[in-house]
């Protein structure tokens, strides 16, 4: 059994297959933004179960798949745990400054929402 045909090998776009449109779409959702924010904050791959998200397990799986297929996160198995890592190197090489600007924008929005008491969804 090769890695390519393993049922546990997950598809990832190569760096040059990542598109800006796909990345922006992947980031255009509050749950996915919170995942990316947490991965950036922790600075290391995290298992899906690390995240305390206000959605069902299957919806969580969906969100991680969208992020993976857009090239925003890498997913791999360590034992039975699926680990998720931010593809910062790829994103920064392709779109310098974009990820940092989005992360700063999430922070700014969260700050405004806590100040006004608006739910952050």
- Residues in contact with a second copy by CB under 8 A are 16, 19-22, 24-25, 27-30, 33, 94-98, 100-102, 104-106, 108-109, 112, 116
Helix (H, G, I), strand (E, B) or coil at 83: strand
Q: How far is the CB of 51 from a second copy (least distance, A)?
A: 18
- Provide the residue count of the chain: 121
Q: Do residues 91 and 72 lie in contact, with contact meaning Cβ atoms separated by under 8 Å?
A: yes
Q: Do residues 24 and 82 lie in contact, with contact meaning Cβ atoms separated by under 8 Å?
A: no
Query: Smaller CB distance to a second copy: residue 81 or 94?
Result: 94
Which value, to the nearest 10 degrees, does the dihedral of the CA atoms of residues 46, 16, 101, 42 take?
A: 10
Residue 17 contacts by C-beta under 8 Å, 6 or more apart in sequence?
71
Query: Smaller CB distance to a second copy: residue 39 or 45?
Result: 39
Q: How far is the CB of 52 from a second copy (least distance, A)?
A: 19
Query: Smaller CB distance to a second copy: residue 49 or 97?
Result: 97
Q: How far is the CB of 10 from a second copy (least distance, A)?
A: 22
């Amino acid at each position: 059994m090769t890695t390519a045909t393993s049922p546990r090998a997950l598809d990832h776009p190569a760096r040059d297959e990542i598109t800006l449109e796909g990345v922006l779409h992947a980031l255009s959702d509050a749950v996915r933004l919170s995942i990316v924010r947490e991965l950036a904050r922790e600075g290391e791959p995290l298992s899906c179960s690390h995240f305390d998200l206000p959605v069902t397990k299957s919806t969580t799986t969906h969100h991680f798949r969208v992020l993976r297929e857009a090239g925003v996160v890498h997913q791999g198995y360590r034992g039975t745990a699926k680990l998720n890592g931010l593809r910062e190197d790829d994103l920064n090489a392709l779109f310098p400054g974009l990820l940092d600007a989005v992360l700063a924008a999430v922070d700014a929005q969260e700050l405004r929402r806590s100040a006004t008491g608006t739910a952050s969804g």
